Structure 1
């Protein structure tokens, strides 16, 4: 498994290192751990029970808490599915070792964890790790801007309908929307799958010379039909996914640096 390769310790080896004396010390420091016999049993937990164990391990692992790196390794093993999921959904953004990038980002979040947090530990690490990975893979983030106006009309050429009232460096419309997309992804306001869907629709539309330009864009019927055929789903499924993606992007644009107006 890639996670084992990245952290260098298998779950079984970690169990042996932690059993008996160290586990007893952990249980004294974090009584929630006493509800399970060890890490092997903890890895089988799901839901709220798992989240409480994660919270205990995170406090032990954090530099602001127990500063125990073995507890940090335990968190990564506990969240192996999260690591795999983030790696799978961001692998298209780099040719580098995506598993190593994700594990490294998660390790940083674990070691810097705020021990004052009281709940939603798994979700917190997931979102923090995902933001950190995207910040690495999409380094040109968006800073504070002065009243940009972002046009989002899915009936038109999608990446060419963004415009700025204020542009310090003369950014063209496609660069503006690209920055909006990066910012929205970093903030977790849109999902990378949303962006991929819209990009695929536009690319499919542009590749079809039979469609009049005024009808091109993410709402192209021909593009929706093509994607539905490629995915083996009905047209309604693609349309619904597209509409959700566009609405999320509109919502993200409305929050863009809290100074955005959407036309």
Structure 2
């Protein structure tokens, strides 16, 4: 596991601090850790077993839980792949300091984790919360939308000029047939976000999958967007979860969009 420099404690140093006695205390406080022998063993877990152990560490780390800062450090190391993924996404906005910003945002997410309502998919929750916090820091919203989800349009696309001439909902006075497939997708996602069909985390999931697919050097001429299996596998690897978890989350979002498509066509098209 590559070192996250800003944490200040290496995994090996952390293992020494969380000795058998302290680990035993953690296991008594969080029985979900009882079947795991050590922090090193936690780092080797994958899938549902890792998710369960991560939830226990987050309950230990939360300030309104057991308030164990060493457990928070353990979570940061466990989610190192997620930290680096977010840092790569925003590197052009903060340069060499971006990893420190991401680690700081992740630390806040871990210490304030809503462990009472979150019982599963802990890595994904921390990832999306951190990404949203970093975006707010590096790309503060000064528009009239005040943080509401906005789907950006390509200013070179003629849909941008067409929509600028209409104050009404896109498509209410224009036929969707007038737009190409990418512009139609933009209008659909904009409508779905505005109607509350999908939220920021779900849009971020699709964005991340499509971004991973676009940067898939192995298959440069065959892009499948959010449905790319290669993108799913890469996301699962980076976040330390199984591919089925990513696929299920993606399919849930796509199912919402499919269900809303008929309403969209009735109201907009």
Partner of 1:131: 132
1:119 aligns with 2:135: no
Partner of 2:89: 89
Question: Contact 2:2–2:80 (CA<8 Å) still a contact in 1?
Answer: no
* Alignment partners' CA distance in 1, 2:227 and 2:65: 45
* Alignment partners' CA distance in 1, 2:92 and 2:56: 34
TM-score (norm 1): 0.62
- Output one character per residue of 1:183-233: Cα deviation in whole Å (capped at 9) or x when no partner: 9995551526758999xxxxxxxxxxxxxxxxxxxxxxxxxxxx9xx9973
Q: 1:143 aligns with which of 127, 143, 146?
A: 146
Counterparts of residues 243-254 of structure 1 (less than 5 Å) = none
- Offset at residue 139 of structure 1 (A): 0.6
Unaligned runs of 5+ residues in structure 1 are 167-176, 199-226, 255-260
Mark the structure with the bigger radius of gyration.
1
Question: Contact 2:61–2:68 (CA<8 Å) still a contact in 1?
Answer: yes
- Output one character per residue of 1:61-113: Cα deviation in whole Å (capped at 9) or x when no partner: 00110011100000001111111111122223333511111111100000001
Gap change, CA 1:162 and 1:97, over 3 Å in 2: farther
Greater relative contact order (Cα 8 A, min sep 6): structure 1 or 2? 2
Question: Contact 2:58–2:113 (CA<8 Å) still a contact in 1?
Answer: yes
* Alignment partners' CA distance in 2, 1:155 and 1:243: 27
Partner of 1:165: 167
- Offset at residue 158 of structure 1 (A): 5.6
Q: Which runs of 4+ in 1 moved over 6 A?
A: 150-155, 195-198
- Offset at residue 157 of structure 1 (A): 3.3
Aligned to 1:66, the other structure's residue is in SS state coil
* Alignment partners' CA distance in 2, 1:151 and 1:88: 21
Aligned to 2:4, the other structure's residue is in SS state helix
Residues 32-41 or 6-15, more deviating: 32-41
TM-score (norm 2): 0.61
* Alignment partners' CA distance in 1, 2:69 and 2:199: 30
Partner of 1:27: 27
* Alignment partners' CA distance in 2, 1:76 and 1:90: 18
- Offset at residue 60 of structure 1 (A): 0.4
Number of residue pairs matched by the alignment: 204
- Output one character per residue of 1:107-160: Cα deviation in whole Å (capped at 9) or x when no partner: 000000112121111111111111111111211163278xx9x99799943654
- Output one character per residue of 1:28-86: Cα deviation in whole Å (capped at 9) or x when no partner: 00011111110001100000000001000000000110011100000001111111111
* Alignment partners' CA distance in 2, 1:123 and 1:242: 16
Partner of 2:232: none
Aligned to 1:191, the other structure's residue is in SS state helix
Gap change, CA 1:137 and 1:22, over 3 Å in 2: same
Unaligned runs of 5+ residues in structure 2 are 169-185, 229-253, 261-266
Gap change, CA 1:4 and 1:196, over 3 Å in 2: closer
Q: 1:233 aligns with which of 212, 220, 225?
A: 220
